Amino acid sequence: MTELKLSLIARSPYNPRKRFDEARLAELAESIRQFGVLEPVIVRPTPPERADDSTYELVAGERRWRAAQLAGLDTIPAIVKPLTDAEALEVAVIENNQRADVEPLEEAEGFHRLVNLRWPELEMRDRVKELASRIGRTPQYVVGRMKLLSLIPEGRDALENDLILLGHAHILATLPADVQKEVLGNLICDVVWKGSVMHYDWSNLSPAKTAVGRLQNEIETRYGHRLANAPFDLADAELVPDAGACTTCPKRTGAQAALWGETQDACLAPDCYNKKLTANSSRIAERLRAEGENVVFASNGYNRGIPHGERSIQDFQLNGYKHEQGDTVVVNPLTGKTFRAAMSEAARNAKERDEQAKKLAKHRVVREYRKRLKAAIEENLPSEVNGQSLRVLVAVAANDYERLQLAEAACVQDWPEFLALDDETVLRHALTYQAARELGTDEEPGSYAYDMTMERSKRLAAELGIDASAIRKAVEAELKAAEPEKPERKRKKEAS
């Protein structure tokens, strides 16, 4: 160690630290006035290419050197070491890393320069591990710091001015520049609306109020695309040649586990992901057209993944045709899945006419069957109970009265014939008349009311000795025989 004149020492261009707190520097200067410089600075002989009036170049201890000048000292204790540029940078980085007040961005720049200068013969992963071992940190810590260099200028300013936390900065640094600016604007800017367009007022900033964990969830939800759901091959480097394969892309959460933790692998470059969706859609359309198919794309309103100039239709318009065999293949660009749909108006009209004809034919059978079943039941109604009595009983039964109340109703109405009937007989008569009456209505086949009516009618028909199924088969046979023969069936019969 030796005493060197302050005038013979110049600051190093390799020192990662660029910002110095003036108040804290003044406090250090006052301490030096009272007690002197207790820890020597480290210097090296100035390299010939930068030689000027100075003889030595600072390697570590710039705050002490600056404070000594403020304190009015002429000399400072120093250790002189003959160091190369790479060695000097390593010492500076390690010395700064041991200080509590080092700025994250300055640390990131120092790490970046050092791994590229100090161990050029190693792979980047090994360089990071080497640096981490030298400074007593984890490789994840080094990678996280170096990633901060991907921040846009507005992001760096926000971090340096304490508008965002280091956790916010780490998340922002994983995003493309345009997405970074939008997310940062939501964090620290006032929002200004010009008509229906939203703008960020970068002249009026305030500290971020969104928690780091919440921001991470919002980023994953809004900008992340789960790669497990991608409709294309993640290892395909030729789908979009400029982008390469997703499996080796750094713009995904899986490649930045130190920052995102154990989450599902998601793409954080939405523009690139959409390009791949579009390229994959083009491949699918090209293959289908080579097979002679008509192709149309299903759109969710944003047209993501639909190649320029391709036909598209809103997906809600296709809901009724997803399971029909038609003349067009519909491609979902977000999933890569396809299905057939009758898209032409002629195909739709023909199908609707056919369905309507089948429905009318079925209704003709039902109406005639119910008519004949009702007549058969009425012919076999018990003679000991009159229609008026049964109407009252039906009304009572519909309100879920107990059997005792049925008998009471009969007594109130002074119908002595009911006193001679047991409860089971009264209920059977009521149900018989109700079914016969309901068969005269025209419920929609397949409806609940239709099913209930037909079930009661079949039970009563069986009780009265009527074969309801035979009536149904007879009606179907008669109506089928009365139908005009279809042209194609007639041609087949004649040909045979």
Ranking 273-287, 288-302, 313-327, 433-447 by mean pLDDT, the lowest is 313-327
Helix, strand, coil content of the chain in percent (nearest 5) = 55, 10, 30
Q: What are phi and psi of 28, to 5 degrees?
A: -65, -40
Same domain assignment for residues 14 and 36: yes
Same domain assignment for residues 128 and 18: yes
339/296 Cα distance (integer angstroms): 10
237/218 Cα distance (integer angstroms): 29
- 171: closest CA among 207, 219, 203? 219
Three-state SS at 402: coil
Same domain assignment for residues 246 and 138: no
437/471 Cα distance (integer angstroms): 18
Of 296, 319, 344, the last residue of a domain is: 344
Query: What is the Cβ-side half-sphere exposure of residue 493, based on CA atoms within 13 angstroms?
Result: 6
pLDDT tier, 5 (very low <50, low <70, confident <90, very high otherwise)? confident
- Dmax of the chain from CA atoms? 135
Same domain assignment for residues 286 and 168: no
Ranking 162-176, 266-280, 335-349 by mean pLDDT, the lowest is 335-349
Same domain assignment for residues 453 and 373: yes
Q: Is 88 exposed, middle or buried (0-12, 13-18, 19+ CB in 10 A)?
A: buried
Mean pLDDT of 375-388: 65
Residue 193 lies in a domain: no
Determine how many CB atoms are found less than 10 A away from the CB of residue 42: 19
Determine how many CB atoms are found less than 10 A away from the CB of residue 363: 13
**How many structural domains does the chain have?**
4
Residue 187 lies in a domain: no
Three-state SS at 197: strand
- 77: closest CA among 39, 31, 28, 29? 39
- 59: closest CA among 110, 132, 134, 131? 110
Residue % of the chain over a pLDDT of 70:
70
pLDDT tier, 318 (very low <50, low <70, confident <90, very high otherwise)? low
297/310 Cα distance (integer angstroms): 7
The end-to-end CA distance of the chain, in Å, is 117
Of 344, 361, 378, the last residue of a domain is: 344
Residue 299 lies in a domain: yes
Residue 185 lies in a domain: no
Q: At what angle do helices 104-117 and 85-97 cross, to 10 degrees?
A: 150
190/200 Cα distance (integer angstroms): 6
119/51 Cα distance (integer angstroms): 26
- 29: closest CA among 62, 60, 68, 77? 68
Determine how many CB atoms are found less than 10 A away from the CB of residue 468: 19
CATH assignment at residue 63: 1.10.10.2830
The DSSP element (H or E) to which 131 belongs, if any, is helix 124-135
| pLDDT score of 19 more than 50 | yes
Q: Is 37 exposed, middle or buried (0-12, 13-18, 19+ CB in 10 A)?
A: buried
Mean pLDDT of 290-305: 80
Catalytic sites, residue numbers: 62
Residue 186 lies in a domain: no
pLDDT tier, 401 (very low <50, low <70, confident <90, very high otherwise)? very low
Same domain assignment for residues 140 and 214: no
Write the pLDDT tens digit of every residue in 406-461.
555 555 555 555 555 565 666 566 666 666 666 666 666 666 667 777 777 777 77
Mean pLDDT of 464-482: 86
Mean pLDDT of 448-477: 80
Q: What pLDDT is stored for residue 323 in this prediction?
A: 42
114/89 Cα distance (integer angstroms): 6
Mean pLDDT of the chain: 76
| pLDDT score of 181 more than 60 | yes
- 246: closest CA among 217, 211, 276? 276
Q: Give the best-scoring range by mean pLDDT among 172-176, 277-281, 356-360.
A: 277-281
Same domain assignment for residues 8 and 146: yes
Same domain assignment for residues 267 and 284: no
Three-state SS at 55: coil
Q: What pLDDT is stored for residue 287 in this prediction?
A: 92
Q: Do 7 and 78 form a contact (C-beta atoms < 8 A)?
A: no
12/83 Cα distance (integer angstroms): 12
Strands 266-267 and 295-299: unpaired
Determine how many CB atoms are found less than 10 A away from the CB of residue 414: 7
Mean pLDDT of 468-494: 74
Q: What are phi and psi of 242, to 5 degrees?
A: -65, -25
Q: Do 302 and 287 form a contact (C-beta atoms < 8 A)?
A: no
Write the pLDDT tens digit of every residue in 104-129.
888 888 888 888 877 878 888 888 88
Same domain assignment for residues 354 and 459: yes
What is the residue range of 211's domain?
200-273
Same domain assignment for residues 453 and 376: yes
Give 70-128 as a DSSP string: HTT-SEEEEEE----HHHHHHHHHHHHHTSTT--HHHHHHHHHHHHHHS-TTS-HHHHH
228/262 Cα distance (integer angstroms): 15
Write the pLDDT tens digit of every residue in 227-236.
888 889 999 9
- 151: closest CA among 104, 116, 115, 114? 104
Q: Do 372 and 470 form a contact (C-beta atoms < 8 A)?
A: no
Residue % of the chain over a pLDDT of 90:
6
245/487 Cα distance (integer angstroms): 59
Same domain assignment for residues 478 and 405: yes
| pLDDT score of 344 more than 80 | no
Mean pLDDT of 314-322: 54
Q: Looking at the whole model, is its pTM more than 0.85?
A: no
Question: Which CA distances in Å does 36 have to 32, 72, 79?
Answer: 4, 11, 16
Same domain assignment for residues 204 and 89: no
- 248: closest CA among 231, 224, 265, 264? 265
